[in-house]
Chain A
């Protein structure tokens, strides 16, 4: 049993180890180790396109995850008190949102937005003249598409937590005469906080790592996964390994910090 677990962990970590190992390669070939060097880290951090792509990915992930967490949490709370056909309809929509593959979301969003833009842009021109703002694909469409999917995830996660919540507390609060809003802020919210945080982290990670939706709806914006994809196309230098290792270490730090914060609060 233990041996088996060890084997699976090796399977999981050998590729990661190879990525990290070759990021310290002195040579530029990804296939041969020629000595130890930190030059690829310097190059990656010095490369304006890497930094630009990192910024784009970070901005999109932060905004979309924040909006998705907000809207998703509110919706999950509201859905608690809902029954009947409206509830079923909503559940169906969430089910579809989670289930439709990313590639279909990407394509569907692309053709829908292009159709809408084609209809709206001439009207804008008519209304505001030649200097009119024109709608186009970019960060906005990316945030909207990522957020839609991750919002559905947040609803599912937060709802699971709400269902497991101690109802007696809510009733006690109501019996003591607290208005619903106060009950929500002082009883419900603290209880679902871990789920909200988990939802946010998941939403952020998804958006930060997504390639396929971005490939279709990012327009001319370059996110980090798109940059990595086109680098693989050109033949990879250890620069990509360095980027991967840095992202991994950064996310580990976030994970550990979040874990520590949660623990401190639990005490």
Chain B
């Protein structure tokens, strides 16, 4: 078999799949976004920019998402980094595999069920009544942005821990020893050695989490009590409540555009920071 023929044969099923289930749907979204809403909902063909002009009506949802998604990513990062460092550098090698598996295991339960567990913990009869017993008043936790953040960190922490772990594991431990032998304080070692060398993992992890957060619907729905509204929630309502497909398509197209721009810029910046090395992979 000629190599080029083999290449095309090997590629054919994947190409067909991507064309039918990715390119075609995205093109349909783009076409619909210029249409108008039918009297009973749905789509009527048209060529109008009205939906895009109207995007301001969902500005609040974009704003919430663009604040909470980076914030959630950052929180995940701050919590994940020390754990990844512990696993890669400090943990007893005999236990390392087990400890790593323990990080993914929660991931194997449905995100729905895990979020539901947080309803019980953050609900009035859970943590708040414990706090009240300590005499510090009874705070309201469930159905707040805080609850949504807890759900986000809980849901996506493993996605952040793993890439950072992989990056740190490759790190030559002699570098760390050298740094401390030369008398530099731990914080400086962190700033000048471990952090820069883990940047590829940080980039991959944050990107994964950020992408998922930008399209999040379930966690704000379940832990935000319908009061914390992401673009994902706006999209679900546009398609399943007001049935305004063209406007929904315009919101979806804008979301994809915003993500393409932010993620590409972010990857560029990270590449520059990590010294132009090419190991900032998608996974």
* A and B directly contacting (CB within 8 A): yes
> Which residues of A are at the interface with B, using a C-beta cutoff of 8 A?
1-2, 4-5, 8-9, 11-16, 18-19, 22, 30-31, 70-72, 74-75, 77-79, 81-82, 90, 93-105, 107-113, 115, 144-145, 147-148, 151-153, 155-157, 160, 180-181, 205, 209, 211-212, 215-216, 224-225, 228-229, 232, 236, 240-241, 243-244, 247-248, 251-252, 255
B134 at the interface (CB under 8 A from A): no
Number of A-B residue pairs having CB atoms within 8 Å of each other in the complex: 219
Is the Cβ of A251 less than 8 Å from the Cβ of B17?
Answer: no
A-side contacts of B79, CB under 8 Å: 8
Residue in B closest to A249 when the chains form the complex, CB atoms: B108
Question: Is the pair A100, B256 in contact by a Cβ cutoff of 8 Å?
Answer: yes
Q: How far is the CA of A115 from the CA of B102 in the complex (A)?
A: 45
Residues of B within 8 A of A225 (CB): 110, 112
How far apart are the CA atoms of A213 and B91 in the complex, in Å? 39
The answer to whether A71 and B6 touch (CB under 8 A), given A109-B25, A212-B218, is: no
Q: Using a CB-CB cutoff of 8 Å, which residues 212-239 of chain B contact chain A?
A: 212, 214-215, 217-218, 222, 232, 235-236, 239
- Taking a contact as CB atoms closer than 8 A, the residue among B118, B157, B252, B259 that contacts A107 in the complex is B252
Q: CB < 8 Å: which of A104, A232, A236 contacts B29?
A: A104
| Residue B282 is within 8 A (CB to CB) of chain A in the complex | yes
Q: Which of A74, A160, A232 makes the CB contact (< 8 A) with B10?
A: A74
Chain A contact residues: helix, strand, loop or mixed: helix
Complex contact B116–A99 (CB within 8 A): no
9 further A-B pairs in the complex, CB-CB below 8 A; given A75-B13, A81-B3 = A5-B83, A19-B117, A75-B15, A78-B6, A102-B215, A103-B236, A144-B20, A151-B17, A212-B215
For residue A205, which residues in chain B have a CB less than 8 angstroms away from its CB? Answer: 107-108
8 A Cβ contacts from B129-145 to A: none
Interface size range on B against A: 35 or more
- Which chain A positions have C-beta within 8 A of B10? 74-75, 77-78
Residue from A75, A77, A228 within 8 A of B113 (CB atoms): A228
B22 touches A15 (CB 8 A): no
- Contact B86 A4, beta carbon cutoff 8 Å: yes
Q: Is B245 an interface residue (CB 8 A)?
A: yes
**Shortest Cβ distance from residue A262 to the other chain B in the assembled complex, whole angstroms:** 12
List chain B residues, Cβ under 8 A from A16. 105-106, 109, 114, 117
Q: Which of A82, A103, A209, A243 contacts B217, CB < 8 Å?
A: A103
B23 at the binding interface (Cβ < 8 Å): yes
- Select from chain A the residue with minimum beta-carbon distance to B107: A205
8 closest residue pairs by CB, A with B: A101-B215, A108-B25, A78-B10, A75-B14, A15-B117, A148-B21, A244-B113, A112-B25
Q: Which residue of A lies closest to B21 (CB)?
A: A148
Chain A residues contacting B232 (CB-CB under 8 Å) are 101, 103, 212
- A19 to B109 Cα, complex, angstroms: 10
Query: Do A104 and B105 touch (CB < 8 A)?
Result: no
B113 touches A241 (CB 8 A): yes
12 contacts between A and B (CB under 8 A): A16-B105, A71-B13, A75-B14, A97-B22, A110-B239, A148-B17, A148-B21, A180-B3, A212-B218, A216-B239, A228-B112, A228-B113
For A2, give its contact among B7, B86, B108 (CB under 8 Å). B86
A145 to B22, CA, bound (A): 8
A18 to B154 alpha-carbon distance, docked (Å): 14
Q: Measured between alpha carbons, how far is A240 from B109 in the docked complex, in Å?
A: 12
Complexed CA–CA distance, A8 and B3 (Å): 51
- Given contacts A12-B157, A31-B120, A181-B1, A101 and B82 within 8 Å (CB-CB): no
- A101 in contact with B3 given A75-B11, A107-B248, A232-B116 (CB within 8 Å): no
B238 to chain A, nearest CB (A): 9
Distance of A212 Cα from B21 Cα, bound (Å) = 16
A98 touches B282 (CB 8 A): yes
Bound state CA distance, A153 and B6, in angstroms? 22
Contact of B218 with A211 in the complex, beta carbons under 8 Å: yes
Given A75-B11, A95-B282, A155-B14, answer yes or no on A108-B110 (Cβ-Cβ < 8 Å).
no
Establish whether residues B218 and A248, one from each chain, have CB atoms under 8 Å apart when the complex forms: no
Could you tell me if B6 and A1 are in contact, using CB atoms closer than 8 angstroms? no
A144: contacting residue among B21, B103, B236, CB under 8 A: B21
Per the 8 Å Cβ criterion, residues 24-49 of B in contact with A are: 24-26, 28-29, 32, 43
Would B11 and A15 count as touching, CB distance under 8 A? no
Contact A104/B215 with A180-B1, A232-B116, A232-B222 known, Cβ cut-off 8 Å? yes
